[in-house]
Copies of this chain bind each other. A is one copy, B any other.
Amino acid sequence: MDITSCCTPVTDQALAPEEAEESANDFKVLADPVRLRLLSIIASVPEGEICACDLIDPIGRSQATVSHHLSVLTRAGLITREQRGKWAWFSIAPERAEFVRTILDRRPAPSLS
């Protein structure tokens, strides 16, 4: 099917209100610069994981704020948290690695704004 042809529907049917609500909630998780930067830092460390204490300085926000965003990302299933002694270690959720890579590739909606 040629989607570039005239008068061809891009999708087969409209989203139900509940579906739209869910999708919007998914995008809300990604609609914050601090969360995107946290994702990108975690995704780029060679060890594959990083301690929460090493995320506060590069982010430049309070410890409470960083902890809040890490909790949002964890609840969304994008990262995983592992307590190790008094330190919390975070890594990209393995089954979401490909998705996170796509997100951080800066190709979600090029030439917007």
Q: Which residues of A contact B (CB under 8 A)?
A: 3-4, 6-15, 17, 19-37, 40-41, 43-48, 58, 75-78, 92, 94, 97-101, 103-106, 108-109, 111-113
Contact = CB atoms under 8 A, between A and B. Distances in A.
Contacts of A112: 22, 25-26, 29, 76-77
A35 B58 CA distance: 34
> Lowest 8 CB-CB distances: which A-B pairs, in order?
A10-B43, A20-B33, A26-B109, A15-B40, A27-B31, A24-B33, A28-B31, A20-B36
Contacts of A9: 43-46, 48
A27 B26 CA distance: 10
A47 B94 CA distance: 42
